[in-house]
Amino acid sequence: MKYKAEKTIVISSWIIVSLLLIKFTPKNKIRESIVVFLFKQALTWIFGLLVVEKNLISYPYRLFFKKANRASFSFEYFIYPGLCTLFSLYYPKNKSHLKKTLHFFISTSVIVIFEIIAVKYTKLIKYKKWTWYWSFITIWITDYLTQAFHNWFFKTKFHE
């Protein structure tokens, strides 16, 4: 079967992110998680389409909506927003600037490391005029924007 490994990875990612969201989203934070998830989807929709349409990245294997657009529905609309939701729920609001920066760095690094592995060993993503550090920068920026939106929406201070 063509793309068997890719299909397994995508389905496993959906399951893992779903379970992580169920397990680590406290009941009193469901509203927050929905707001973050939807805001992140809006950002990734714009950036995801932009990089694909500008021919910077391609997704040779996509599980869903193969004819609707060339972006990865799974990554752009579920996996990445789900991970960002957890990032935001566990953001160290009242901690030092160093801990906040480390939170961004570790979260971004984990995603980029998995992306690098996917680029090298699968047909899930192909860099054309792109490299890992652009992913690192854009993920960091979109996480920052999402956290800023979260804090604005829920009226919390970003730099406490």
pLDDT given for residue 64 in this prediction: 75
pLDDT given for residue 65 in this prediction: 73
Cβ partners under 8 Å of residue 96, min gap 6: none
Residue among 40, 44, 51 at smallest CA distance from 131: 51
Residue 3, by phi and psi: left (phi above 0), alpha (psi -120 to 50) or beta? Answer: left
Mean pLDDT, 10 residues at a time, the chain of 160 residues? 87 97 97 97 92 93 77 91 96 93 97 97 95 97 96 75
**pTM of the full predicted structure?**
0.89
pLDDT given for residue 159 in this prediction: 54
